[in-house]
Amino acid sequence: YADIAMYEAKKAGRNTTKFYQHKMDEWISRRMAIENGLRDAVKNQELELHYQPIIDFATSKVIGAEALLRWNTPKFNDVYPDEFIPIAEESGLILEIGKWVLQTALKQFVAWQKEFTGVIELQKIAVNISAHQFENSNFLHDVDSIIKKTNIKPSCLELELVESALVENLKTVSTRMQKLRDLGVSISIDDFGTGYSSLSYLKKLPFTTLKIDKSFVMDIQNDVDDKELISAILMIAQTFNFEVVAEGVETQEQYLFLKEKKCTYLQGYYCSKPLPNEQFIQFLRKNSVRYSF
């Protein structure tokens, strides 16, 4: 954003330079305020996880959730992960925040499993992991110790990585991933299709799940090419034995198309938006047999 503003400013000459300078000052001070606020967010207990249900296409059963971070701060009215997560990453604060997210999500998941024993078989808690965390030398140890502390079945944990976290040397990334897999956890590629990576990593990296980005799902109605693209992704996934989660499913048409194409799991507003813990538990109670579409 700053780069674009600077470029526009240079292009437009003096008067506009002032305008963009002002915009940039505003942007920089908001960014700094967010960074400062985030510094104490864990300590001040301003962080909260919302949970978005994940549904099995074949059975319509709720099989788990993705944990999504929310920041309740008195300093800003609306501040969403797309704005504050990149700042947490650049400032390194994501390490502390990410650890809190893992701990909280796993503890919560184990509590749900206990409450719904014999009623719902909850199999998955998906947690977003930033590149910074994945590359940090303590990460493997942290994951291992949180698994032991919470007593979660490791296969229930799915770590979500975006493609941009995988652009490093393929061998390094692969070794790092394999060590996590050796703990028994699953790994998914989030926002699949939006990154820069080549398809060759599909057979070289030991992950288990693809999450089709919502931008592809959203265009299913209008765009013949997107239908083709999703069909192709699902075919590749079957070849390599990956599970596929479709993100951002909002309409019946999208749901029916993906079901027909044998997509594995659904996540999206068509079923539910991300919910605070208490509401998620109510969702589980209400849909304990299966979700009715």
Chain positions contacting ligand C2E, by CB under 6 A: 52, 68-69, 80-82, 85, 98, 101, 128-130, 160, 190-191, 214, 247-250, 267-269, 274
Residue number with CB closer to Mg ion (192 or 283): 192
Beta carbons within 8 Å of 67's beta carbon, 6+ residues apart: 49, 50, 51, 101, 104, 105, 108, 125, 126, 127, 128
The answer to the question of residue 190 lying near Mg ion (CB under 5 A) is yes
- On whether the CB atoms of residues 108 and 277 are closer than 8 A, the answer is yes
Residue number with CB closer to ligand C2E (64 or 248): 248
- On whether the CB atoms of residues 183 and 193 are closer than 8 A, the answer is no
Residue number with CB closer to ligand C2E (37 or 248): 248
Residues 126-145 interacting with Mg ion (rule: CB under 5 A): 128
Residue number with CB closer to ligand C2E (20 or 158): 158
Smallest separation, CB 47 to ligand C2E (Å): 9
Beta carbons within 8 Å of 222's beta carbon, 6+ residues apart: none
Smallest separation, CB 85 to ligand C2E (Å): 5
Of the candidates 133, 131, 129, the one whose C-alpha atom is nearest the C-alpha of residue 159 is: 129
Question: For 209, how many CA atoms within 13 A lie in the half-sphere containing its CB?
Answer: 29
Q: How far apart are CA 266 and CA 247, in angstroms?
A: 7
φ, ψ at 260 (rounded to 5°): -60, -35
Q: How far apart are the first and last CA of the chain?
A: 40
Q: Give the one entry of ligand C2E, Mg ion, none that residue 83 binds, where binding means its C-beta sits below a cut-off of 5 to 8 angstroms depending on kind.
A: none
Residues 34-73 interacting with Mg ion (rule: CB under 5 A): none
Cα separations in angstroms, 73 against 76, 129, 151:
6, 22, 31
Beta bridge partners of 70: 48
Smallest separation, CB 291 to ligand C2E (Å): 15
Phi and psi based region of residue 268 (left: phi greater than 0; alpha: psi -120 to 50; beta: remaining): left
Residue number with CB closer to ligand C2E (237 or 275): 275
Q: Give the one entry of Mg ion, ligand C2E, none that residue 80 binds, where binding means its C-beta sits below a cut-off of 5 to 8 angstroms depending on kind.
A: ligand C2E
Q: Which residue in 147, 160, 180, 287 binds Mg ion (CB under 5 A)? A: 160
The token duo for 271 is 């079923």
Q: Give the one entry of ligand C2E, Mg ion, none that residue 226 binds, where binding means its C-beta sits below a cut-off of 5 to 8 angstroms depending on kind.
A: none
Q: Give the one entry of ligand C2E, Mg ion, none that residue 163 binds, where binding means its C-beta sits below a cut-off of 5 to 8 angstroms depending on kind.
A: none
Smallest separation, CB 55 to Mg ion (Å): 16
The token duo for 247 is 């993100």
Residue 90: what residue type? E
Q: Give the one entry of Mg ion, ligand C2E, none that residue 81 binds, where binding means its C-beta sits below a cut-off of 5 to 8 angstroms depending on kind.
A: ligand C2E
Q: How far apart are CA 80 and CA 72, in angstroms?
A: 10
The answer to the question of residue 158 lying near Mg ion (CB under 5 A) is no
Q: Give the one entry of Mg ion, ligand C2E, none that residue 41 binds, where binding means its C-beta sits below a cut-off of 5 to 8 angstroms depending on kind.
A: none
- Cα maximum dimension of the chain: 70
The answer to the question of residue 191 lying near Mg ion (CB under 5 A) is yes
| Segment near Mg ion (CB under 5 A); pick from 12-20, 51-59, 173-181, 246-254 | 246-254
Residue number with CB closer to ligand C2E (163 or 191): 191
Contact residues for Mg ion, defined by CB under 5 A: 128, 160, 190-191, 247
